Every structure is written in C-alpha cells, then in structure tokens.
C-alpha cells in the first residue's frame, strides 16, 4: 500500500487547471441590476410638468428594449457555452464575480448547472523547476504547448431555438442498449444522446448490457450520476428514467443491424416516420454506427455529453480522487494503460511475451472462440506485432519509457485489469522502474471491496487517477486511450504520448542498433505526438471525443458568447 511520506515535496506546482477559472456571471445578474429600483432622491420636483417630446421618445426606446429582452429570455438560458476568455490558467477570481455568483439562489444553481462545474477536472500538473534533471528527463516531464485552445461550446442560434421544442418532447422515446466495456459504453451513450437529438425524441436513460467477458451487471445509475446527466442535457434533449405507462405496450422492435458510419440524414430518413407512428424506438449495437463527421452543433453536443454530462457517481468519484491525490502528493507521476489482460491477448491474436506455456493457453481459448479476434485474420502473430497491432508488453513499455527520458525513480500508476501471468507479467517494467503501483496497492483496506466484482467501476477509478497524471501512455490505443486523449486535451492539453509501435518495434528486434541510436530514434518519433493540439479535421473520420479541436475548443478570445 502506498502511503504519502511526510517529507517536503521537491516539486513545485504550476498554475492550476484552467477549469478552476471557468466561472462567469449569469446573464440575468446584469439584467436584474439594470431593472432594479433605484433609491429616490431626497428632494422631489413637485411641479406637474407635462412630459416633453424627448422623454416620450426615450420611453418608447425603453419599451422596445424590455420587449427585446423578453424575447431573448424565451431561449433557454441554461444552454450555456464556455467562454474562452474566462478560462485562462493565469486568470484569477474577481471578488465582484464571486459575490454575484454567491447571490444566485441554490434553487437556480440546482436546476441550471454551470458548464464549468460539471467537468471532471484533474489535479494540477507538477513543475520540475529546481530539480537536478538531465535534458532528457526535463523534456519527458515538460507539458505540451496548448497554443491558447480552451473549451468553447458555443451552439448556434438555430440549435438553441430548436431546443425549446426538442427538450420538451413527450411523445417520441428512444431506448438504447449499450454494450462492451465501460469506455465503449460511454461512446455509445454519447451517440445515443446525439441520435435522440437528431430524431427529436426523448431519451430513456441508456441500458447497460451485461458484460459477458467480465460478468459485470452494473446499471447506468451504478456508474454515472443520473440526475446530473439529466440536468446537464436538459436544454438539448429530454432525458427520462423510464418509459411512461402510455408507451409500455408500444411495439418494441429492436434495431440491432445498423450500417457503420451513417449520417444524421440517414437516421431521420430511416426512423423518424416509424418513431412518429409507434412512439418508441429501441436501438442496440451503436458502436461506430453514427458518423464521426457531423454538423458543428452535434459535434459540440458530443463533447458536452462526454466531458460534462457523464459524471461518475459520488462514491466512485470520491474514491478515484483519493487514490489520485495519494499519487499526486508525492510528485509527478506517469499513468500507463497497460493492456495485459487475458481477453486482450485472445482478441488481438498476439503473443504474450511470457513464454510458450502462456501462449498455448491463449491459443486454445482463441481457437475455441475465433469470433473474438478483431480483424486481420490472415496475419501471423509476428506480422501483427510488426504492423503495430499488438499491445506493448511490460518489457517493451519499460524500454519505451527509458529511452523517452523517464527517470528510473518515476512513480508509475498501472491502469487496467489483472494482467495475464500475474506479477510475472509486470516484472520487466518493475525491474527498471521500481515505483510501480496499482489501485489495489494504493487503496486502503476495504476501499475497493464494494467494487470487487464491478469491472466498470474499477475502470472508472482508473480513469480518474489516469486523468490527473502528468504523463499518460496507452500500450494499445483502444477506447480508454481515445477517451483519455480527448479529455486531457479538453482540460488543458496535458501530456499524452501515443506510442508509434509500427515504427519502433522493428528496432527493438534489431540487436545491431545501439541504445544511444535507439533512444535518439524513439525521442524523434514521439516529439510531435505528446498531446499538442491536433485538429480533428486534419484527417477524415476522427472522433471529436479524441480530437476536440476545433469544434469544441477555440483560441483565446474567439469563443465569446
């Protein structure tokens, strides 16, 4: 069990996350101030003069002004974009701003949650000023340049006008069944909200399908804060906990054979008439079915769901935060999503690196369940590895960290399930980096007991601890890697190293390459892939959840509303 040492922290802390400065005054504050009654003067003019022409003219202007404000107030005020000008890390709280925020009634704060307060915010990154570090070590801990990009969810006027009708829908309902692991389910929940918006339907809280691999029977409410989910999306779609009694006997045809990468137009053409007639639509198997290339407003909605609406339950959030602080308080740390679980080796068709006995076990399972292998069936294990399709094992990850400049004293948090092969699977990494910990080692007695058979909750805890790390590295991409890439970008472009396995693995196999040559090559390969802003539009079909620039993030001063 890792314990915080009672020693002076040798690391200095940089500016806190930009989300600590995401607060802004309500637009109603200024309106109330404008229309508030003013104190009467001590002396009054008692003469009953008739109003002059200028006064009548000014009265007309005031009347039209009030009428204009009334029309604007019809648009839901809680459809709140994130102003870029208010989230600079170097900014500080204004006393006047804090006073105005504190004057908002608790009822308004509950019903109209501020966007900034709904984001899962990591602990601040550490600085390494004053430390005796080599040039490679200093480069390893250095954070990328965010280039001034900040969260900026500015929905169009048409979107907000349409929200007045869509957010009150009570006749058409969409039910979605999300399958897979937690991060795969998150993706499907995000798309479920967007599809509900496209079809102008109310969304029933998504159903999480029982995971056949891990046997997790968790429901949505076991992992995510349902009421927060509803409140955050109340201006976009109506979310209900269950179907109304009027729809319980509706025809329930489950649509589970959707094509991949379909457009909003396709969804409306295929289901809108059916939904109007039957009042209920059940969709299953949404993974990668909705196109990644959507109109700007729907891309922003994706970000709003992923980074704001899907908040973990309070017990999961609190435990994740405690573990993250136990790592953070002792200095900068690395989080590695190390995919060494048995099912990963079965699905990828790769060798474990643990010897022939372990490979035979995986081979038997793979032969008995060939449907689990994910594509490229015509490739051998060696071909898959050289093509970069296999997870990095502990030995390969240790080599990567070493030649990227990570100091041997670096603290490393391992996110992921129980590795196939137990502690032996982690031994090559622990040999070079002895300060390796897992959530089981960090947690105090009894803290993880409620989640002993809840793999989704354990993944959520890994997610929280990984988000606060100074450096994050996935060993095999996947849904967790993409989610972490986008979330770390959204909260300040924290360092994210995406291993270039295809270019790196052949050099690992070449014994003629010296350590110096290999190290130079590794640093050069990854210099431009460490979490810098990378526009989604640079390549087609990129997911905005992994690449929130430019639809969900804007440069300072360009996203004011």
**What percent of the chain lies above the pLDDT cut of 90?**
49
The answer to whether residues 421 and 433 touch, using CB atoms and an 8 Å cutoff, is no
Confidence class of residue 157 from pLDDT cuts 50, 70 and 90?
very high
Structural domains present in the chain = 157-309 (3.40.50), 314-555 (no CATH)
State the Cα angle at 484 between 478 and 487, rounded to 5°.
140
Instruction: Go through 265-275 and write b for each residue having 16 or more CB atoms within 10 A of its CB, e for each that does not.
Output: ebbeebbbebb
DSSP one-letter code for 18: G
- For residue 173, what are its two tokens? 């309902």
Q: What is the pLDDT of residues 50-59, one digit of tens each?
A: 444 455 555 5
Tell me, what's the pLDDT at 374? 65
| 368 contacts: CB under 8 Å, gap ≥ 6 | none
Q: What is the pLDDT of residues 475-533, one digit of tens each?
A: 987 899 999 999 999 999 999 999 999 888 888 877 788 888 888 888 888 887 777 88
Tell me, what's the pLDDT at 214? 67
The answer to whether residues 498 and 532 touch, using CB atoms and an 8 Å cutoff, is no
The answer to whether residues 481 and 415 touch, using CB atoms and an 8 Å cutoff, is no
Q: What is the pLDDT of residues 112-149, one digit of tens each?
A: 556 777 888 999 998 876 678 888 899 899 999 898 99
Tell me, what's the pLDDT at 90? 34
Cα separation, 284 vs 192, whole angstroms: 10
Whether the bond between 484 and the residue before it is cis, its omega within 30 degrees of 0, is: no
Question: Looking at the predicted structure, is the pLDDT value of residue 561 above 50?
Answer: no
Confidence class of residue 400 from pLDDT cuts 50, 70 and 90?
very high
DSSP string covering 162-226: HHHHHTT--S-EEEEEE-SSHHHHHHHHHHHHHHHHHTT-EEEPPEEPPPTTT-----HHHHB-H
Between 98 and 212, residue with greater pLDDT: 212
Helix axes 314-328, 455-467, angle to 10 degrees: 40
Instruction: Name the region of 180 (left: φ>0; alpha: ψ -120 to 50; beta: rest).
Output: left
> Has this prediction a pTM greater than 0.85?
no
Between 388 and 156, residue with greater pLDDT: 156
Confidence class of residue 166 from pLDDT cuts 50, 70 and 90?
very high
Q: Is 484 helix (H, G, I), strand (E, B) or coil?
A: helix
Cα separation, 241 vs 237, whole angstroms: 13
Cα separation, 513 vs 508, whole angstroms: 8
Cα separation, 438 vs 1, whole angstroms: 9
- For residue 40, what are its two tokens? 């009467």
Residue 64: in which H helix or E strand, if any?
helix 53-72
- CA distances to 134, 145, 253, 518, 519 from 91, in Å: 32, 18, 53, 42, 39
- For residue 517, what are its two tokens? 């040559």
HSE at residue 177, side-chain half, CA atoms within 13 A, is 14
Please, where are the H alpha helices in 241-355?
A: 264-278, 296-304, 314-328, 342-348
The answer to whether residues 122 and 52 touch, using CB atoms and an 8 Å cutoff, is no
What are the counts of helices (DSSP H) followed by strands (DSSP E) for the chain? 22, 15
Confidence class of residue 106 from pLDDT cuts 50, 70 and 90?
very low
Question: Looking at the predicted structure, is the pLDDT value of residue 96 above 80?
Answer: no
Cα separation, 315 vs 312, whole angstroms: 8
Average pLDDT on 210-221 reads 82
Cα separation, 261 vs 276, whole angstroms: 24
Per residue, the 3-state secondary structure of 25-55, as one string, reads: CCHHHHHHHHHCCCCCCCCCCCCCCCCCHHH
- CA distances to 192, 202, 247, 282, 554 from 175, in Å: 8, 9, 12, 5, 34
Q: What is the pLDDT of residues 72-84, one digit of tens each?
A: 444 443 444 444 4
Q: Quote the mean pLDDT of the chain.
A: 80
Among 147-151, 366-370, 458-462, the least confident range: 366-370
Most confident of 6-15, 50-59, 380-389: 380-389
Instruction: Name the region of 129 (left: φ>0; alpha: ψ -120 to 50; beta: rest).
Output: beta
Q: Is 335 helix (H, G, I), strand (E, B) or coil?
A: strand
- Closest alpha carbon to 322 in 19, 7, 3, 10: 3
The answer to whether residues 161 and 75 touch, using CB atoms and an 8 Å cutoff, is yes
Average pLDDT on 539-550 reads 92
Cα separation, 191 vs 176, whole angstroms: 10
């Amino acid at each position: 069990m890792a314990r915080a040492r009672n020693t002076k922290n040798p690391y200095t802390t940089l500016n806190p996350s930009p989300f600590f400065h995401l607060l802004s005054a309500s637009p109603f504050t200024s309106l109330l101030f404008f229309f508030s009654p003013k104190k009467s003067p001590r002396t009054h003019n008692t003469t009953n003069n008739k109003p002059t022409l200028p006064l009548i003219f000014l009265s007309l202007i005031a009347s039209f002004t009030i009428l204009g404000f009334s029309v604007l107030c019809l648009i839901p005020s809680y459809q709140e974009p994130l102003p870029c000008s208010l989230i600079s890390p170097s900014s500080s709280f204004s006393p006047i701003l804090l006073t105005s925020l504190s004057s908002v009634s608790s009822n308004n704060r509950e019903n109209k949650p501020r966007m900034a307060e709904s984001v899962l915010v990591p602990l601040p990154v550490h600085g390494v000023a004053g430390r005796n570090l080599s040039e490679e070590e200093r480069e390893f801990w250095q954070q990328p340049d965010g280039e001034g990009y900040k969260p900026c969810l500015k929905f169009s006027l048409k979107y907000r006008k349409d929200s007045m009708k869509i957010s009150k829908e009570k006749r058409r309902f969409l039910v979605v069944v999300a399958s897979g692991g937690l991060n795969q389910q998150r993706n499907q929940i995000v798309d479920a909200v967007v599809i509900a918006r496209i079809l102008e339907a109310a969304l029933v809280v998504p159903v999480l399908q029982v995971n056949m691999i891990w046997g997790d029977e968790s429901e949505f409410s076991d992992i995510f804060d349902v009421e927060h989910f509803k409140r955050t999306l109340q201006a976009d779609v109506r979310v209900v906990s269950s179907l109304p009694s009027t729809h319980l006997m509706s025809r329930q045809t489950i649509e589970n054979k959707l094509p991949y990468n379909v457009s909003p137009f396709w969804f409306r053409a295929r289901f809108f008439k059916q939904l109007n007639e039957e009042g209920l639509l059940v969709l299953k198997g949404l993974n990668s079915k909705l196109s990644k290339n959507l109109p700007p407003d729907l891309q922003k909605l994706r970000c709003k769901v992923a980074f704001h609406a899907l908040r973990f339950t309070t017990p999961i959030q609190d435990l994740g935060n405690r573990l993250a602080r136990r790592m953070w308080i002792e200095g900068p740390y690395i989080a590695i999503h190390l995919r060494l679980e048995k099912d990963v080796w079965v699905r990828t068709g790769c060798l474990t690196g643990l010897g022939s006995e372990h490979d035979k076990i995986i081979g038997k399972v793979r032969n008995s369940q060939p449907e689990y292998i994910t594509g490229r069936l015509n490739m051998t294990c060696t071909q898959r590895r050289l093509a970069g399709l296999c997870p990095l094992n502990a030995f390969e990850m240790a080599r990567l960290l070493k030649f990227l400049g990570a100091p041997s004293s670096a603290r490393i948090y391992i996110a992921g399930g129980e590795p196939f092969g137990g502690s032996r699977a982690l031994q090559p990494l622990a040999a070079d980096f002895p300060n390796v910990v897992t959530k089981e080692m960090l947690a105090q007695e009894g803290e993880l007991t409620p989640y002993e058979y809840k793999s989704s909750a354990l993944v959520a805890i890994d997610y929280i601890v990984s988000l606060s790390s100074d450096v994050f590295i996935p060993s095999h991409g996947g849904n967790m890697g993409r989610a972490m890439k986008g979330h770390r970008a959204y909260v300040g472009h924290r360092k994210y190293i995406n291993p270039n396995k295809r270019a790196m693995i052949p050099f690992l196999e070449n014994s003629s390459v010296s350590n110096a040559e290999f190290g130079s090559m590794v640093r050069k390969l990854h210099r431009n892939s460490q979490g810098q802003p990378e526009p989604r539009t640079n390549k087609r079909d990129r997911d905005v959840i992994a690449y929130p620039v430019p639809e969900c993030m804007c440069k300072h001063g360009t996203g004011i509303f």
